[in-house]
Structures are given as structure tokens and as C-alpha cells.
């Protein structure tokens, strides 16, 4: 990691915002100086950081003190309660990077307001419209193309962070003609415990186009469309026409999976594919890809920092070039780890 720590503010202290904060407190990659959230209750924000039903207790001390959360008695993280990222007073604290983890579409005007405050970079933790001047970044694939001149960056989606590094490696080593992708994703906060009206997701004014997202998230596998291919094609454009996809929301709290079937341009055997992934894991700077050979289930990958764990128990190939892969990824911790990696990479660029 870089020796220089950038000053960071997090806008939106929900699942991803808190995961990024926890990961950074373990890795000490940057100096977290501010949080902005619509929740005005600082005690509640500190409580949610300290206790987590998925990841357990915070590995340190965290308590509310006035308009701040004090970490380990000596780190004071100021808490704003502005309704938009550009409205928080980041400039008062000399914030270098704002991580927009609110899960809502970023607005061009907000980017301008952040830039006017002297913020060097804004990292958006979701897919952004093509019309916006936001550079999509998948760490491990194209993060080295980022420059100090890139103000707005998007770490796209958790599914794309798992899928793109795998497809990039396969394309480089064997070529990819086409394929299919099925993702299994844990429930999200806007879903229902009991059947009811399909609620809008984090996108204001958006109403789900299918009633199934109003069904009980804890009782069924819920089929739905996925944005993974569209999001992935922002970094690897050839994927958009090469893949078909579908997704299921599954009744678990954490860890996603991807079931991929691919037609390789240059057929190869199972051992060669596994060797390619194991070589890639050894050479990578950040822990993007990892390999698993054990008999594990989804919960065993909770808290895993890699973007995609390739479960080679299920890796299989045929002479015609057909390849099947199963991936596991912690959709919060793995994704949050890449956000922290991107901040670290930016720190290195700024020296």
C-alpha cells in the first residue's frame, strides 16, 4: 500500500458504507474523517458500525460523541446529515475522496459540487449511466488505467466485480465465443419479510417492474433480470453480445454465487484452466481472484475479501470448448475490499 493516506468521506452509511469502514479499520489504507447519512441519529450509526448481524462485533471501539463517531478513543469521524453528497461540508475537513455508497444514481450537479469543494475524486459504488463522465473501474482488470485526472470513478456492481476478472482471464488465455450466466444473490434491504407491495429499490421513484420482488424474501427463490452483463460490458464491451443471463434472489443474508457456462475459442482441459487461475492468483497485486478446492457452502465464504472465489470442484471442460465454472463472492465484503483497494491505488498515484 501507499505510505500516503488520503482523507476520505463516506456518503451513505448503509451495508456497503459500513463494510468499507470496517475493512479500512482493519487495513488502515486511508484516514476516514467524515460520514454523511440521511439518518440523523449518530448513536444509531455508531451502534450499526459496532454490531453487525452478518460480520459480528466491530474489532475495536466505536461510540457516538456529539456529531461524531469516535473510533478507538483517538480517531474522530465527523457525521454530516446532508440530503445529497455535494451538500455535506467535506471541504471543512480537507476530504480528498468521497465514496458515494448511497446506492442511488449519481447526479452531474452533485459531482460538480464535490469538485468545487476541492474533493480530488468521487468513487460511486454502483453502476452509473453512460451519459455521465464517470469512469467504470474493475480492480484487477482496468484499475491501472486510472489517472489523477479522473475525478468520478465507479466500482460498478458486486456481480460485475466477480464476473469481469474471470472473463478477462479466460479471454486472454483461451478466447471466449459466448456463454450464459446465472447469478444467485442474497436478499436486499428493500425486499419484504412477508408478501406485500413490491417496494422501490434505492433508486428514488423507481418501482420494480415485476411483482415477485414483493414476495417474501425468506421463503422463495425469486427469479429476476440482472444488470451484471450490462454493467460488465462497461469494462469489457464484447460481453454484451456474447452472454445471456438471469438471476435469482435467494433466501440467505450474504454471499452470492455465479454459475457460468462458456464456449471457449481454443478448447482446453480442466487442469489447464485451473492452472491459469492459480497462476493469476499468485501474480495479482490485489486479492481479486482466489481458488477453492474444498467442499464448502456459501456461508463459508462470508468475509472473504476476494472478488471471486473459483470453486474448482465444479470446474469442467469438454473437447468442443465448453467450460463450466462456479464462483462464490461476498457481495458486501468482497466488493467493499475493492473500493478500499481503489483508494489505495489512488493514494499511490498522488504519491
Residue carrying C-alpha cell 465465443: 177
Count the Cβ atoms, other than its own, within 10 Å of residue 111: 23
Task: Supply φ then ψ for residue 298, to 5 degrees.
Answer: -55, -45
In the chain, what is the straight-line distance between the N-terminal and C-terminal CA atoms, in Å? Answer: 11
CA separation for the pair 11, 260 (Å, rounded): 34
Residue with grid cell 448511497, as numbered in its chain: 102
Closest by CA position to 186, among listed 27, 53, 306: 53
Note whether 45 and 35 are within 8 A (CB).
Answer: yes
H helix or E strand, kind and range, residue 130: none
Query: What sign for the dihedral angle of Cα 327, 329, 331, 336?
Result: negative
Q: How far is CA 313 from CA 3, 175, 318, 324, 326, in A?
A: 40, 22, 15, 11, 9
158 is catalytic: yes
Rg for the chain, CA atoms, rounded: 20
Q: Which of 158, 228, 290, 306 is the catalytic position?
A: 158
Is residue 219 classed exposed, middle or buried when 0-12, 13-18 and 19+ CB atoms within 10 A define those classes? Answer: exposed
Residue in 262, 272, 236 with CA at minimum distance from that of residue 164: 236
Positions annotated as catalytic residues are 158
Amino acid at each position: 500500500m501507499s505510505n500516503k493516506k488520503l482523507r476520505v468521506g463516506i456518503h451513505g452509511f448503509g451495508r456497503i458504507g459500513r463494510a468499507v469502514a470496517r475493512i479500512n479499520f482493519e487495513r488502515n489504507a486511508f484516514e476516514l474523517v467524515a460520514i454523511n447519512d440521511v439518518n440523523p441519529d449518530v448513536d444509531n450509526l455508531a451502534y450499526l458500525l459496532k454490531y453487525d448481524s452478518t460480520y459480528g462485533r466491530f474489532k475495536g471501539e466505536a461510540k457516538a460523541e456529539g456529531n461524531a463517531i469516535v473510533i478507538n478513543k483517538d480517531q474522530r469521524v465527523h457525521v454530516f446529515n446532508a440530503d445529497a453528497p455535494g451538500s455535506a461540508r467535506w471541504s471543512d475537513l480537507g476530504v480528498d475522496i468521497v465514496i458515494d455508497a448511497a446506492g442511488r444514481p449519481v447526479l452531474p450537479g452533485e459531482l460538480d459540487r464535490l469538485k468545487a469543494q476541492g474533493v480530488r475524486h468521487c468513487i460511486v459504488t454502483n453502476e452509473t449511466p453512460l451519459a455521465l463522465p464517470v469512469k467504470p473501474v474493475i480492480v484487477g482488470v482496468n484499475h491501472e488505467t486510472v489517472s489523477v485526472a479522473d475525478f468520478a470513478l465507479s466500482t460498478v456492481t458486486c456481480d460485475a466485480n466477480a464476473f469481469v476478472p474471470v472473463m478477462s482471464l479466460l479471454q486472454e488465455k483461451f478466447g471466449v465465443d459466448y456463454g450464459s450466466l446465472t447469478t444467485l444473490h442474497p436478499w436486499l434491504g428493500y425486499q419484504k419479510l412477508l408478501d406485500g407491495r413490491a417496494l422501490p429499490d434505492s433508486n428514488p421513484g423507481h418501482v420494480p417492474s415485476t411483482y415477485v420482488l414483493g414476495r417474501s424474501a425468506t421463503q422463495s427463490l425469486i427469479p429476476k433480470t440482472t444488470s451484471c452483463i450490462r454493467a460488465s460490458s462497461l469494462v469489457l464491451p464484447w460481453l454484451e453480445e456474447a452472454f445471456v443471463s438471469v438471476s435469482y434472489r435467494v433466501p440467505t443474508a450474504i454471499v452470492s454465487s455465479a454459475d457460468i457456462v462458456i464456449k471457449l475459442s481454443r478448447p482446453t482441459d480442466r487442469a489447464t484452466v485451473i492452472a491459469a487461475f492459480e497462476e493469476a492468483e499468485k501474480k495479482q497485486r490485489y486479492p481479486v481472484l482466489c481458488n477453492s478446492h474444498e467442499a464448502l457452502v456459501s456461508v463459508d465464504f462470508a468475509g472473504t475479501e476476494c472478488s471471486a472465489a473459483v470453486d474448482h470442484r465444479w470446474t469442467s471442460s469438454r473437447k468442443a470448448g465448453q467450460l463450466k465454472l462456479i464462483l462464490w463472492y461476498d457481495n458486501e465484503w468482497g466488493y467493499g475490499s475493492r473500493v478500499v483497494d481503489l483508494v489505495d491505488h489512488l493514494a499511490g498515484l498522488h504519491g
